[in-house]
Amino acid sequence: MQTAQEKLSRDLGVLVAMAAEMEDYLREDVLFWRMMQPGMPMLTLGGYLMRQHRLLALRALLADDEVMQLETAVAQFNAALQEKVVRTEEKAHTELGARLRQWHEYLRDADWRRNSLDPNYDTAVETRAMIDALVALLQTAPYQMQPQILAQIAQVDQVLRAMWVAGAFVWPEAWQPAYPQDTYWWLYGRPR
């Protein structure tokens, strides 16, 4: 099993690879982009932004050379988004719709509920973290978020709250500073 530091280093490797392909990704009409480097997850704005949030918030845990890699990747990502406001908004809204459907389907899935608490929630909740990261992007100028998005998220969160059991932080404890409980309540417990 990987340590929190190893997972963070893995996240950095994924982020660097995603930033390198972001320009090409934004040009294409695909939501999930197969990356050139083997063993990488599919590239999406949400996947990139989730990792960027975590890595920037936890940069004190990174070695000096890793901080330099992070800064280079963030600069490369920002350069890829330059003068692509409409394209980025379109991709972000499309992904938000897909992630909201994915998250809602996960919450409606009866298979894991038979086991009381989902042992795979720590992986499944990445979808909710991506939703949050996409919203943060769209709430930042010059982007504009479709007004119904926050209502849709609140509706799906209400489904989760109805089955929520508060508990321990589901990701590595060292990551908690990046995810305060009052904002990221859905990382502190599990549904049942």
Structure tokens, 147:
């007004």
Distance CA 139, CA 133 (A): 10
CA 46: distance to chain centroid?
Answer: 5
Give the residue among 134, 4, 7, 25 at the shortest CA–CA distance from 84.
25
pLDDT band per the 50, 70, 90 thresholds, residue 113: low
Q: How far is CA 98 from CA 7, 21, 56, 105, in A?
A: 26, 21, 26, 11
pTM listed for this prediction: 0.93
Cis peptide before 142 (omega within 30 of 0): yes
The tens digit of pLDDT for each residue in 139-188 reads 999 999 998 999 999 999 999 998 899 999 999 999 999 999 999 999 99
Q: How far is CA 47 from CA 4, 19, 63, 109, 128, in A?
A: 18, 11, 23, 23, 11
Widest pairwise Cα distance in the chain:
49
Average pLDDT over residues 54-69: 96
Is the sign of the CA dihedral 51, 57, 58, 62 positive or negative? positive
- Is pLDDT of 34 > 70? yes
| Helix, strand or coil, per DSSP, at residue 163 | coil
Q: Are strands 188-191 and 164-169 parallel, antiparallel or unpaired?
A: antiparallel
Structural domain spans, the chain: 4-191
